[in-house]
Copies of this chain bind each other. A is one copy, B any other.
Amino acid sequence: MLSFECDYNRGAHGKVIEHLIETNMEPLPGYGEDIYSKRAKEKIREACHCPEAEVYFLAGGTQTNQVVIDSLLTKYEGVIAADTGHINVHEAGAIEFTGHKVLAIPHVNGKLMAADVRSYLEKFYDDTTHEHMVFPGMVYISHPTEYGTLYSMDELKDLSHLCREYDIPLFMDGARLGYGLMVKDTLLTLPDIAKLCDVFYIGGTKVGALCGEAVVFTHGNAPKHFVTMIKQHGALTAKGRLLGVQFDALFTDDLYFKISRNAIAMAEVLKRIFREKGYEFFIDSPTNQIFIVLENEKMKALAKEVTFSFWERKDEDHTVVRFATSWATTLEEIKELEKLL
């Protein structure tokens, strides 16, 4: 069975596994105090051109969103997100679980537009009863978004300036950050993101690691006693080496970027195939997630030989599905899929 249902269906990249093997029997301190975690943090600071960044490793995306948002928000604050944002839809209420409201704003192609956020903020402070409302205390975006779309440099700058104007942090969920960075036409580099965001994370789980996300606080703004808060959320990895060693490998010789580029290259090939064969695209995504409208009959037939994701019903006869490439996708797999299409 061909497998295109997601970008986390394989283990880890070979070099990541190798590094785990070669360090496996070294006695190392726990909780991220090991040398590989420290080394990985240093490499990430360098890749971000952000020597003052504070880097922490967490195991998964929802966990990271939950811990970062809860730790940065004051108790009476909520987090602004696109209504399609992962935290608003697909995290089983992990943010509300910590007592905070997700303040959902209509999305534009999965993105949050600065103008809409500004209008929300202005309306909030304009409202004479806003002391009875949830204060907007952070802006959450994902890049790439849940629709595989990307913020342009200008769009991100606008959000960044707006957040600084209102003195609330801009947090980027980078669960698929590598795939966003390696798109040909994007101008946004990792250092740009470090400059424009107050906190973001570099996703490992979906980009070559067994697990792991690297949270980057960009300007000395890590919450006080952040390790304690990670522990309090049940999110502190005892063998922190598991995360540190993997990121050490991913940020050696640009591995993270090279393998991300593979996903994009494979997606480009696949999109060309879909286009040539006349498939309808649901949305124009430049990254590794491809959203296609299928007739239900066609969908059922295909599903016998290849896995993909249900996205949403379009109408009675059509369904939107998602094909995802990843760091591990090979040209052979694409070719096989082509035959099936």
Partner-B contacts on A (CB < 8 A): 1, 3, 5-6, 8-12, 14, 17, 20-21, 23-30, 59-67, 70-71, 74-76, 78, 89-94, 96-102, 104, 126-129, 131-135, 205-206, 210-211, 224-225, 227-229, 231-239, 241-242, 307, 310, 312-313, 328
Contact = CB atoms under 8 A, between A and B. Distances in A.
Contacts of A60: 234, 236-238
14 contacts: A6-B30, A11-B239, A21-B21, A62-B231, A76-B92, A91-B132, A92-B131, A92-B228, A97-B99, A97-B233, A132-B231, A206-B238, A211-B237, A234-B234
Contacts of A71: 75
A132 B92 contact: yes
One complex includes copies of this chain to the number of 4
Nearest to A126: B313
Given A132-B231, A210-B239, A93 B100 contact: yes
Contact of A75 (B59, B232, B307): B232
Contacts of A27: 1, 3, 9-10, 307
Given A17-B20, A60-B236, A96-B101, 4 more contacts: A59-B211, A62-B231, A93-B100, A211-B237
Contact of A232 (B76, B238, B242, B307): B76
Contacts of A65: 234
A229 B99 CA distance: 12
A165 to B, nearest CB: 19
Contact of A94 (B94, B225, B231): B231
Contact of A76 (B25, B229, B312): B229
A128 to B, nearest CB: 5
A26 B6 contact: no
Interface majority SS (helix, strand, loop, mixed), chain A: loop
A24 B11 contact: yes
B231 A92 contact: yes
Contacts of A104: 104
A227 B67 CA distance: 19
B30 A10 contact: no
A80 to B, nearest CB: 13
Contact of A242 (B63, B98, B211, B313): B211
B10 A26 contact: yes
Residue of A71, A74, A238 with highest tally of chain B CB at under 10 A: A238
A313 to B, nearest CB: 7
A98 B76 CA distance: 12
Nearest to A4: B27
Contacts of A89: 133
Given A100-B96, A232-B94, A239 B205 contact: yes
Contacts of A26: 10-11
A70 B97 CA distance: 12
A65 B235 CA distance: 12
